[in-house]
Amino acid sequence: MRKLSRRDLVWIVPLSATGGFFAWFGLRAWRIQFGKTEPGEPRWKEGPRVEVARIADLPEVWSFRYFVYPLAVGELKSVLLRVPAPQPGGLGAGDAHFLALSRICTHQGCTVNFVPDPEAGAIAYNYRSDHPFLGCPCHFGAFDPLRAGAAVFGPPRHPLPRIRLALEGDTIYATGHEVPLRPLEGRARARTAGV
Ligand code: FES
C-alpha cells in the first residue's frame, strides 16, 4: 500500500473536515427533527405558594397572564394560560382549564413569549399553527400549550417545564414547579433564572 505523502494531505485534511462537518450537521438536524421529548405526567418540586390570578382575570380561552415564580435562587419567568382542553399538569376549574409554564426556553434560556395570533406567529416564527403558541425570539423555537408545552418547532428539544397550580375559591395559586427545571437544571449552559 502506498504511503501517504504530504501532497495527499492537501486534499485529505479538507475532505475529512468537510465530511465531519456534514456528519455533525446531519446528526444535529436529525435530533432537532426527531429527538423532541413529549411532556408526560410531571414530577413536582414543592415551592412557595404564590397567588397568580383570579379566574375572572382570564375570562376566555387563550387569556393569559405573565408572572414570576420565586425559586431558591432568583425568579422564574412564567405564564398562566387558559386553554381549551385539560392538559397533564394543568388545573381544571369547572369548565375552565389552565396551564402554567416556565418562559425560559429549554434551548438556550431566552424568554419565550405567548403568541396569541397564529397568523402573525407564522410570519414572525415561521411556524404555522391553528392555535396560539409560545415562541422564542432567539432561534425561533415554538412550544405548544395544547401538548402541555411540548417543543414543536426549531432547535428546542425539551418541553417548557410546568408550574404546579392550585385553586382556592376563585383564586389560582402556583405551588411548585416541574423537575428537572430545564434549562436551569439541565446541562450546565443555563443562564440565570431571571433571563
Ligand atoms: S434559545 Fe430559544 S430557540 Fe434558542
Domain boundaries along the sequence of the chain: 43-179
Ligand 1 atom with minimal separation from the 105 CA = 2
Q: Cell match 450546565: residue?
A: 188
Q: Model's pTM, two decimal places?
A: 0.82
Cα 100 to its chain centre, rounded Å, is: 12
CA distances from 58 to 63, 79, 112, 174 (A): 5, 12, 20, 15
Give CA–CA dist 93/87, Å, rounded. 12
pLDDT tens profile 107-152: 999 999 999 999 999 999 999 999 999 999 999 999 999 999 999 9
- Ligand 1 within 6 A of 132 CB? no
- Ligand 1 within 6 A of 156 CB? yes
Give CA–CA dist 85/155, Å, rounded. 27
Where the chain has pLDDT below 70, the residues are: 1, 21-22, 24-25, 27-34, 186-195
Are the beta carbons of 69 and 78 closer than 8 angstroms?
Answer: yes
Q: Given ligand 1 and candidates 139, 152, 184, 191, which is best to mutate, with the most ligand atoms within 8 Å of its CB?
A: 139
The x, y and z cell numbers of residue 131, run together, are 392555535
Q: How far is the CA of 139 from the centre of ligand 1 (A)?
A: 5
CATH number of 43-179: 2.102.10.10
149 closest CA partner among 123, 171, 173, 177: 177
Q: How far is the CA of 112 from the centre of ligand 1 (A)?
A: 8
Cα dihedral 114, 120, 125, 128 in deg (nearest 10): 100
Show Cβ contacts of residue 92 under 8 Å, excluding neighbours closer than 6 positions. 86, 98
Question: What count of residues does the chain have?
Answer: 195
- Ligand 1 within 6 A of 183 CB? no
What Rg value do the Cα atoms of the chain yield, rounded? 21
Check residue 13 and give its pLDDT.
79
The x, y and z cell numbers of residue 20, run together, are 465531519
pLDDT tens profile 78-88: 999 999 999 99
